[in-house]
Amino acid sequence: MRVFLVEDSRPVRERLAAMLQALPGTEVVGHASGADGAIRHILAAMPHVVLLDVALAQGSGFDVLRAVRPSAPQIDFYLLSNYAGYPYRQLTETLGARGFFDKSKEFERVREVIARRAAAQSALMGEHA
């Protein structure tokens, strides 16, 4: 399963990438730190899953969601952010993301969710195979 990372903090991005790469059947296919770059790369790489931060070096995760969702609704977005107040969660849901995780307190759940998602993906691929 192809995962794209949108995260502007290098220490966090590196750790997330390492964590995801360690999951069976998961491949990190690219990363971006600003909204514009993210939109361009995601539309080019067409990953299965995007792990998205809200506060970015330029623009916000919401900008990415608004731009990509209409043209690529099949991509699953998961937000991972330190901005965890419910209005942020609400907006995330409105914009059609699959999930929201508090970056400091819930990041371990990301691994579970992505692992499950990857397992489902490979099962799907197996069926197709």
Partner 1 sequence: MRHPAVIGAGAATLAALLAANLFAFTRGMETPWLLGGVLLVDMAVIGACIVVAAREVRVADQRTRASQARLAAIVDSAMDAIITVDEAQKIVLFNRTAEKLFRCARGDALGAPLERFIPSRFRAAHRGHIEQFGRTGVTSRRMGDVTTLWALRADPEEEFPIEASISQAAEGGKRYFTVILRDITLRKQAENALIASQRELRELSARVLEAREEEKTRIARELHDELGQLLTALKMDLSWLRERLPGDGETGARVEEMGRLLDQTVGSIRRISADLRPLMLDDLGLADAASWLVDDFGKRYGIASRIELRADGALDRLPKNVSTAAYRAIQESLTNIARHSGAKNAWVVLAAENGSLEVQVEDDGRGIEPEDLAKARSLGLKGMRERIAYLGGSFEVARAARGGTRLRLKLPM
| Cβ at position 107, least distance to partner 1 in Å | 6
- Whole-angstrom Cα distance, residue 19 to residue 38? 20
Contact residues for 46 (Cβ-Cβ < 8 A; gap 6+): 2, 72, 75
| Cβ at position 2, least distance to partner 1 in Å | 22
Distance spanning both ends of the chain, measured CA to CA: 15
| Cβ at position 39, least distance to partner 1 in Å | 18
Q: Kindly state the tokens that stand for 99.
A: 């999930």
Name the site residues for partner 1 (rule: CB under 8 A). Answer: 9, 11-12, 15-16, 19, 54-55, 60, 82-83, 85-88, 90-91, 103-105, 107-108
Specify the residue, 9 or 122, whose C-beta has the smaller distance to partner 1. Answer: 9
| Cβ at position 46, least distance to partner 1 in Å | 28
- Residue 46: Cβ within 10 Å count: 12
Specify the residue, 66 or 72, whose C-beta has the smaller distance to partner 1. Answer: 66
